[in-house]
Amino acid sequence: MDRGTRGDLLGRLADAVGSVAVTHPVRVAVDGPPAAGKTTLADELTAVLRARGRTVVRATVDDFLFPRALRYRRGEYSAEGCYLDTHDHGALRRVLLDPLGPGGDRRFRHAVYDHRTDTVLAPPVTTAPADAVLVVDGVFLLRPELVDRWELRVFVTTALDRTVDRAVVRERHVSSRADVERRWRERYLPAQRLYFSAARPAEHADVVVHNDDPRQPVWQTRTRLG
């Protein structure tokens, strides 16, 4: 285990990205439960990489959702529905991960869906340079359908009950505490437990970030990253 400042962690992650030797963009997953801090970490890593001169494609799995009617076909609070029916992994592989991977043409789309309007998107195709970095944040990124599509796998973890309190603060302007707690305790957290049991994401991660105190994170790296 390593412990340090937020800057120490970000520098370590940026070094890990720089150590990856491939002839296509480096694909980085920042996985973790809702409200664990993965989006913030992915945004901060993006800023550090850009400051080091890297071209970064920033994406989120929430731009690869299925339409609402399919996401909630098992019920609004179904944990199985959250894990099985939420994200279009086929589209994620087809338009983003595979084009930027080995043998890909580097022509990609960063999104296929707008959750605010529940509509399908078809943004223009963009071509990434070969030395670009793709940083994707989101839940369930290390599940079997996706785990082999990343050159660097980061798993952000915190006590699941703590994510409920963070979610209440984050969503206080759009949802009541009771609504947030019900979604977390009936849908999101049980879905994470399904994920942990089925996919064991922490075992597949190159870096596990313990984010209980974001200012003083603790992290564990795999041997292959040095």
The dihedral region occupied by 126, where left means phi > 0, alpha psi between -120 and 50, and beta the remainder, is beta
pLDDT category of residue 29 using cuts at 50, 70 and 90: very high
pLDDT in tens, 79-117: 999 999 999 999 999 999 999 999 999 999 999 999 999
**Amino acid at residue number 111:** A
At residue 226, the pLDDT reads 42
pLDDT category of residue 161 using cuts at 50, 70 and 90: confident
Does residue 200 lie within any of the structural domains? Answer: yes
At residue 174, the pLDDT reads 67
- pTM over the 0.85 mark: yes
Residue 201 has pLDDT above 70, yes or no: yes
At residue 99, the pLDDT reads 98
At residue 197, the pLDDT reads 96
At residue 103, the pLDDT reads 96
For the chain, give the percent of residues with pLDDT over 70: 96
Phi, psi of 124 (to 5 degrees): -60, 150
Does residue 148 lie within any of the structural domains? Answer: yes
Does residue 114 lie within any of the structural domains? Answer: yes
Does residue 211 lie within any of the structural domains? Answer: yes
The answer to whether residues 57 and 25 touch, using CB atoms and an 8 Å cutoff, is yes
Does residue 226 lie within any of the structural domains? Answer: no
Comparison of pLDDT for 3 and 153, the residue scoring more: 153
Range of the domain at 157: 2-221
The answer to whether residues 150 and 34 touch, using CB atoms and an 8 Å cutoff, is no
CA distance 65 to 91: 9
Report the CATH number that the domain containing residue 213 is assigned in CATH: 3.40.50.300
Residue 35 has pLDDT above 90, yes or no: no
Span 123-142, average pLDDT: 97
At residue 38, the pLDDT reads 94
Span 173-192, average pLDDT: 84
Average pLDDT, the chain: 93
At residue 223, the pLDDT reads 56
Does residue 116 lie within any of the structural domains? Answer: yes
Residue 187 has pLDDT above 70, yes or no: yes
pLDDT category of residue 206 using cuts at 50, 70 and 90: very high
Structural domains counted in the chain? 1
